[in-house]
């Protein structure tokens, strides 16, 4: 039902920056929580960041806190992941995800899992 299209991945040197974008279909974008996940080669998929439908609350994995920023523009049906101070260990396929938000729920344990719509993934490679 909800289709997600990602862009912005690529190759960057350590210390550099990238901004990923995820465009979503639908007319009720603000009712969905959005998340970013990543999967490095040979590793499990891991949570990176999430944002509530309103954009008022964000959540981050400890590994990216202070370096990455998730944001959304509900008028454009788009969520972003600004990645600064990139490290080689950030190299992974990054996935955009969506699920209906629970507007009265403020619990990291809800927003780092349970997503039901997924983008195709975009490769981010950080070189030394």
Looking at residues 93-117, what average pLDDT do you find? 95
Residue 100 clears pLDDT 90, i.e. is over it: yes
Residues 20-63 have pLDDT tens digits of 999 999 889 999 999 999 999 999 999 999 999 999 999 999 99
Got the DSSP string for 54-122?
TSS-EEE-TTTTTTEEEEEEGGGTEEEEEE-S--GGG-EEEEEEEEE--TT---HHHHTS---EE---E
Q: What is the pLDDT of residue 26?
A: 80
Q: What is the pLDDT of residue 27?
A: 82
Residue 69 clears pLDDT 90, i.e. is over it: yes
Q: What is the pLDDT of residue 77?
A: 97
Q: What is the DSSP letter of 34?
A: E
Residue 79 clears pLDDT 90, i.e. is over it: yes
Give residue for tokens 């039902």. 1
Q: What is the pLDDT of residue 66?
A: 98
Q: What is the pLDDT of residue 5?
A: 96
Q: How confident is the model at residue 1 (pLDDT cuts 50, 70, 90)?
A: confident
- The residues facing 96 across adjacent strands are 36
């Amino acid at each position: 039902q909800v289709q997600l299209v990602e862009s912005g991945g690529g190759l960057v040197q350590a210390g550099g920056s990238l901004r990923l974008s995820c465009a979503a279909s639908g007319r009720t974008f603000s009712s969905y929580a959005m998340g970013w996940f990543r999967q490095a080669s040979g590793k499990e998929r891991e949570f990176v960041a999430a944002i509530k439908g309103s954009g008022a609350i964000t959540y981050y994995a400890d590994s990216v806190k202070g370096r990455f920023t998730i944001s959304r523009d509900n008028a454009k049906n788009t969520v972003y992941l600004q990645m600064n101070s990139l490290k080689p260990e950030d190299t992974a396929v990054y996935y955009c995800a969506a699920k209906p938000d629970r507007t009265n729920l403020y619990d990291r344990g809800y927003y780092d899992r349970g997503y039901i719509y997924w983008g195709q993934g975009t490769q981010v490679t950080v070189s030394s």
